[in-house]
Amino acid sequence: MDKLGVPVPQILKYGKYEDSYFVIISFISGSDIGDIYNTLSAAQKRNIAKDISGIQRRVSSLPPGELYGYTADSLLYKTWTDFLNSQIKRSGERIEQNGVWGVDICNNLRMKMNGLNKYFTNVRPTAFLADISTKNVLVHEGKLSGIVDVDEICYGDSLLVVGLTNMALLATEADTDYVDYWLGEIGAGEEERKAVIFYTLLFCLDFMGEQGMKFDNGNSIPINRKAIEALDNTFAQLYSML
Looking at the domain assignment, is residue 224 inside a domain? Answer: yes
Largest CA distance in the chain: 56
Looking at the domain assignment, is residue 22 inside a domain? Answer: no
DSSP the chain: -GGGT---PPEEEEEEETTEEEEEE-----EEHHHHGGG--HHHHHHHHHHHHHHHHHHTTSPPPSSBEETTSS--BSSHHHHHHHHHHHHHHHHHHH-SS-THHHHHHHHHHHHTHHHHHT---EEEES--SSSSEEEETTEEEEE-----EEEE-THHHHHHHHHHHHHTT---HHHHHHHHHTT--HHHHHHHHHHHHHHHHHHHHHTT-B-TTS-BPPP-HHHHHHHHHHHHHHHTT-
Q: Residue 2: what pLDDT?
A: 59
pLDDT tens column, 23-73: 898 999 999 999 999 999 999 999 999 999 999 999 999 999 999 999 887
Residue 216 — very low, low, confident or very high, per pLDDT cuts 50/70/90? low
Looking at the domain assignment, is residue 5 inside a domain? Answer: no
Q: Residue 7: what pLDDT?
A: 87
Looking at the domain assignment, is residue 178 inside a domain? Answer: yes
Looking at the domain assignment, is residue 3 inside a domain? Answer: no
pLDDT tens column, 173-209: 999 999 999 999 999 999 999 999 999 999 999 999 8
What average pLDDT does the segment 118-129 reach? 96
Q: Residue 121: what pLDDT?
A: 96
Looking at the domain assignment, is residue 1 inside a domain? Answer: no
Q: Residue 178: what pLDDT?
A: 98
What average pLDDT does the segment 209-233 reach? 79
**What is the count of structural domains for the chain?**
1
CB 83 within 8 A of CB 124: no
Q: Which residues pair with 143 in a beta bridge?
A: 140
Task: Indicate the pTM of the whole model.
Answer: 0.92
Domain, as residue range, for 208: 29-239
CATH assignment at residue 130: 3.90.1200.10
pLDDT of residue 218 exceeding 90, the answer is: no
pLDDT of residue 214 exceeding 80, the answer is: no
What average pLDDT does the segment 109-123 reach? 94
Mean pLDDT value across the chain: 92
Looking at the domain assignment, is residue 33 inside a domain? Answer: yes
Instruction: Report the C-alpha gap between 92 and 211 in whole angstroms.
Output: 12
Q: Residue 225: what pLDDT?
A: 84
Q: Residue 217: what pLDDT?
A: 60
Looking at the domain assignment, is residue 168 inside a domain? Answer: yes
